[in-house]
Structure 1
């Protein structure tokens, strides 16, 4: 009797491929589903690999386990999910006319042909390894797979000096992981900031400070030139600026979509270099779908095709593919480039357009930087967050956001993702009915505060400069006066060099001390008092006044601590009560 089951072949057994296969089985118990995976392991969480190297969990197989602790291997998927997974099997070529895939068993070398009615390409990405001298030395590795993690863990147990090449997500996570193991870490980034595709420079500068505070030798604007070694093993890396010792080198300069199978099959490759797909994630061949890190997406705000490989997107792709294969006409609308990363004690997140992106797209961006505690300041454990909002001047529509701090940034960025997805304005964000209780937020959540500051700026009520603008102004105009309106006690603890201290409570009585012909820039810890100072000065007739956004918390440049050499204020000055 002839078997008329519909045959679905999936190439790639990690995030998108396994999500598609599992969803397919739930929707249709009669499908014949085969997943091919070149590696030995399937359905693993690669994003957890730096935390394995850090030592936060002991067994590498935990990245392949369900929340209940069950190992997701080929046997699990056969028995529990009801489909076939073939680890160690490489897809060599796709014959689109005959609808079949030529495959090879990597253990035996045996080749065979697998027919399909529909094909899903979930081939993922591959690390960028530039053809530089020494790139093949022992001890030089990317971090892509569990096998990479095994090798890096073995090296880390003996290493004294590590060099990380690249200041993206993996580079930052590995910097922390290796420092936590007591290894001296040098991080090379060829651009002038880390997370260059995610953060504007001012926010990235705060990440630079965190890295250096935790002992990372951060080398910006330094490109790797070559890697040197002895007896076939790495010993140092060389840049134009110097030489750095290395027992191990982590190559983390980025990834490229793995599209060789698709290209050789004649499928269309998009402008990003990833496989071109429509909203249903179909390729240029209607019988072939592409999902995950090999496929491009559409940016929801710009409408342009983008390549942002993330496990969250890959899982969504897999579900959309499965639904369409089962006739459910599902669409994948696009992405906002949302991401988050932990850098030592700093939590970092972003979504939507950066200020630079918005400007390049001609959106006339207006931005604001606002700092606040992540919960009621009276509740134990309150920590700061710094929020940068980007909006379009004319429409007041939100375009993007960046949030960082030692406090809770995740719920703020997720709220902003919802606002960006729905096309909300700054005014709508400011009136959102966010949940409040002292253990979780302040009565005016930091998001609400940031939105209100931006509304004031758009309405011409608040005149402000961000810290980068302040620094540029100070460098270009030595007459600019940076006015610290915090209390003497706060000033004694930490301060911006060269700033003049007049506490807010003493400001009205000491207006005569301030020059009316100079630019005055008041600030405090968060710059709420800085804004109050701006209003006091303007009411007194001062015309050149702008407060500094974000306060001293958002100042990414030099700070001074320790005893003050000379008194900054006359004895008996009035202190501001926060």
Structure 2
């Protein structure tokens, strides 16, 4: 019988375990998870904090019991202390009792995920400062919000922006701090982030952008002061939302990794050592807009990679199609969605792209209501291939990012995208759908 050790069970681990047992119900699959829950949808933390979730139990789409019913041996609240890939052993201990054991495995699946970036800043371990990652963090955030009058969010990516939005809507005086000079700077270009920043200011959020945090100071009145290079901000609590890095110390030095610790995997989710697989936030992804390995921690990537572990764990069978890092977020009454490279993202990677912007209403003026859409298309000036798209509107434009995702994956040129057969119906769009319209504008440039 083949014995499999799966370390970590959020998205990649849950789907890998399920897929392995579907393909090989007679295998001996052991799952190690340091928490008491699996499959937590952390992307819903801000929504729950703002009372937009019907039942927090529904933020878990699986459970240890379900995985056990599927045939897995679940080691919950268990800390893996050592992995020896050469000897094929996993050493682990029960967190509550300290009891230690060793498992001999035939195949190893590393789905240890990521951990929050927590820089060694003086005072960062203050009891008034916390992270936003797992279920325990979510519970603490919800508890802190009750009766709170002020809060600071550090990090203006998706998580930080959503938290700042929900705090402000709850009547909490909110400050949003980021070292970059724009909110969502890694997700959208300036024509869109300008609109988001205007919404934050409209709702009373103080934006402290382009400011690096240098220290934290606890005050006698049960508050914390966040000190940046150019200012000081005081509140009852602060949330760290500064990004994530791979949580792969257990196998460091035993498999090939990127400098940040992401395990390099091939198109079958295999690491550089036989019988070792990795998926999700602990692993690299193949980023189709650049044709290169990259690190992009997204639940969607984790799910697809986890499924591929199950398909390929016996023998290479199904290739990874790569990712465009397609994503979306709702902030106040703005819907934002993107796929592929932004102009700033291309610049960070040393690539040259052209960028075309179009602003027009999403449906005809004769309708009783409509709303403008900002569309930004990035494309290769030499090959004319589509490399990315961004959209922002008070209308729901989320589907446009999926259109761009498929265009990138299929290596569409802007000329092909401009001639796609998109529907027209006045309830939904203009005679020329805004995705096709921005592609047409790009072709004319």
Q: Same fold (TM over 0.5)?
A: yes
Aligned to 2:67: 77
Which of 410, 434, 440 pairs up with 1:422? Answer: 410
8 A contact 1:77–1:83 mirrored in 2:
yes
1:522-541 → structure 2 map (5 Å cutoff): none
> 1:135 is paired with a residue of what secondary structure?
coil
Shift in CA distance, 89/245, structure 1 to aligned 2, threshold 3 Å: same
8 A contact 1:358–1:399 mirrored in 2:
no
Kindly indicate whether residue 434 of structure 2 is the aligned counterpart of residue 438 of structure 1: no
Q: Distance in 2 between matches of 1:263 and 1:226?
A: 30
Aligned to 2:184: 195
Contiguous gaps of at least 5 residues in structure 1: 67-71, 458-578
Aligned to 1:447: 435
Measured after TM superposition, the shift of residue 198 of structure 1 is 2.0
8 A contact 2:252–2:261 mirrored in 1:
no
Q: Distance in 1 between matches of 2:101 and 2:59?
A: 31
Aligned to 1:467: none
Which of 244, 249, 262 pairs up with 2:238? Answer: 249
Aligned to 1:38: 34
Aligned to 1:518: none
8 A contact 1:366–1:393 mirrored in 2:
yes
The two structures have a TM-score, normalised by structure 1, of 0.74
Q: Distance in 2 between matches of 1:228 and 1:362?
A: 39
Shift in CA distance, 58/135, structure 1 to aligned 2, threshold 3 Å: farther
8 A contact 2:108–2:275 mirrored in 1:
yes
Aligned to 1:139: 128
> Number of matched residues?
445
Measured after TM superposition, the shift of residue 359 of structure 1 is 5.2
8 A contact 1:127–1:252 mirrored in 2:
yes
Measured after TM superposition, the shift of residue 260 of structure 1 is 0.5
Moved more, 167-176 or 353-362: 353-362
Cα RMSD, aligned residues only: 1.8
8 A contact 2:268–2:316 mirrored in 1:
no
Aligned to 1:87: 76
> 1:228 is paired with a residue of what secondary structure?
strand
Measured after TM superposition, the shift of residue 111 of structure 1 is 0.5
Q: Distance in 2 between matches of 1:76 and 1:381?
A: 47
Shift in CA distance, 162/401, structure 1 to aligned 2, threshold 3 Å: same
Q: Distance in 1 between matches of 2:176 and 2:13?
A: 33
Measured after TM superposition, the shift of residue 363 of structure 1 is 5.6
> 1:164 is paired with a residue of what secondary structure?
strand
Aligned to 2:330: 342
Q: Distance in 2 between matches of 1:51 and 1:131?
A: 29
Measured after TM superposition, the shift of residue 376 of structure 1 is 3.4
> 1:444 is paired with a residue of what secondary structure?
coil
Aligned to 2:112: 123
Q: Distance in 2 between matches of 1:194 and 1:100?
A: 45
Q: Distance in 1 between matches of 2:424 and 2:136?
A: 45
Q: Distance in 2 between matches of 1:299 and 1:372?
A: 30
Measured after TM superposition, the shift of residue 361 of structure 1 is 6.1
Measured after TM superposition, the shift of residue 320 of structure 1 is 0.9
Q: Distance in 1 between matches of 2:371 and 2:152?
A: 32
Kindly indicate whether residue 150 of structure 2 is the aligned counterpart of residue 161 of structure 1: yes
8 A contact 2:12–2:279 mirrored in 1:
yes
Per-residue CA deviation, residues 522-556 of structure 1 (Å, 9 max, x unaligned), is xxxxxxxxxxxxxxxxxxxxxxxxxxxxxxxxxxx
1:9-48 → structure 2 map (5 Å cutoff): 9-48=5-44
Q: Distance in 2 between matches of 1:445 and 1:302?
A: 27
8 A contact 1:349–1:410 mirrored in 2:
yes
8 A contact 1:367–1:390 mirrored in 2:
yes
Q: Distance in 2 between matches of 1:106 and 1:244?
A: 38
1:351-366 → structure 2 map (5 Å cutoff): 351-358=339-346, 364-366=352-354
